[in-house]
Amino acid sequence: MSKSDLTAAEAIRTRRSIKSFKSDPIPEPILQELLSLMQDAPSSWNFQPTRVVLIRSKEQKEALAAAAWGQKQILEAPVTFVFAVSIRGWEKHMDEILKTGVSSGAWPQKFADWIRENAPGFQKGLGDKQREYAIKDAMIMATTLAIAAESKGYSNCYINGWDEAKVKEIIGAKDDANVAIALVLPIGVASNHPKHPGRLSPSKTIFTDRLPSPAV
Ligand SMILES: Cc1cc2nc3c(=O)[nH]c(=O)nc-3n(C[C@H](O)[C@H](O)[C@H](O)COP(=O)(O)O)c2cc1C
């Protein structure tokens, strides 16, 4: 962390959805630090289903912007992150993940054995919801990156407006049923700083112990 970095609270307060970026690049050391911070995001069972593709070339930006109904933030930002997931990636990586957890001293062998015993059944029991669970992990990683970037003066815009089949094709996962797209996140230097559009009053969104019934 450098002295000029915003605190997490400052980054959260400063962040706005940026619709227009300057052409300034993200210096490579900062980009590498952001990737490292992003990779520290947690995931369910530590199964790490998120697969991140950095879109940097002009032709890939143009294709992605077209798949996102022409949203120009993607064309302007020096880097746009596509957060995809490998829904069943854990099947291939579980052994390595458990081994690392044990060898790092974080997990007793017993805990790793418990995960090996229970996680596959839990995951399979999710059925179609395995996709949703993987997407939750990807959204947490994307949010981690967005706040980290903001703390270093790089703005961003969460983007959900795109055609999933087209985005999959652009990143090389056409027709791969194991891959789903969670989010697109352009990052760069904002060319303006929009005003805060406001939030509902906390009395409508934050409750103690129970939701009002019916929830609205
Ligand atoms: C999951 C998600 C998806 C969004 N998708 C888009 C999008 O496709 N295009 C866009 O311009 N803004 C998008 N936004 C930005 C929201 O419109 C914005 O967060 C909201 O209006 C509040 O403004 P603020 O982010 O500046 O506080 C998205 C935000 C979130 C959290």
Dump pLDDT digits (tens) for 104-121.
999 999 999 999 999 999
- Find the CATH number of the domain harbouring 153: 3.40.109.10
d(CA 10, CA 27): 22
DSSP string, 102-150: HHTTSS-HHHHHHHHHHHHHHHHHTTTHHHHHHHHHHHHHHHHHHHHHH
Question: What is the rounded CA–CA span in Å between residue 26 and residue 153?
Answer: 10
Q: How many CA atoms are closer than 13 Å to the CA of 114, on its beta-carbon side?
A: 8
Residue 149 within a domain: yes
Question: Would you say residue 186 lies in a domain?
Answer: yes
The pLDDT value recorded for residue 3 is 76
Residue 113 inside a domain? The answer is no
Residue 45: inside a domain: yes
Whether the predicted model's global pTM rises above the 0.85 cut = yes
Residues 118-165: tens digit of each pLDDT: 999 999 999 999 999 999 999 999 999 999 999 999 999 999 999 999
Q: What is the mean pLDDT of residues 36-64?
A: 98
Q: How far is the CA of 38 from the centre of ligand 1 (A)?
A: 20
Residue 216 belongs to a domain:
no
Distance 94 CA to ligand 1 centre (A): 34
How many domains, in total, are found in the chain? Answer: 1
Q: Is residue 116 part of a domain?
A: no
Mean pLDDT in residue range 59-69: 98
Closest CA to ligand 1's atom 30:
158
The rounded Å distance from CA 35 to ligand 1 centre is: 22
The pLDDT mean for the chain works out to 97
Q: Please report the pLDDT score of residue 192 as a whole number.
A: 93
For residues 191-197, average pLDDT: 96
Is pLDDT of 196 > 70?
A: yes
Sign of CA dihedral 114, 115, 116, 122: positive
214 in any annotated domain: no
Residue 83, phi then psi, degrees to nearest 5: -95, 105
Q: Determine the structural domain holding residue 25 and report its residue range.
A: 15-89+133-194
For residue 159, the 8-state DSSP code is: B
What local confidence, expressed as pLDDT, does residue 2 receive? Answer: 78
Segment 192-208 mean pLDDT:
97
d(CA 196, CA 194): 7
The answer to whether residue 51 scores a pLDDT higher than 90 is yes
Report which secondary-structure segment, H or E, holds 58: helix 58-67
Contacts of 209 (CB under 8 A, 6+ apart): none
Q: Is 71 exposed, middle or buried (0-12, 13-18, 19+ CB in 10 A)?
A: buried
For residue 17, what pLDDT band results from cuts at 50, 70 and 90? very high
pLDDT at site 1: 66
pLDDT recorded at residue 6? 98
Tell me, yes or no, whether 59 lies in a domain: yes
Question: What's the 101 CA to ligand 1 centre distance in angstroms?
Answer: 36
Calculate mean pLDDT across residues 181-201: 97
- List ligand 1's pocket residues with C-beta within 6 A: 16-17, 19, 71, 157-161, 197
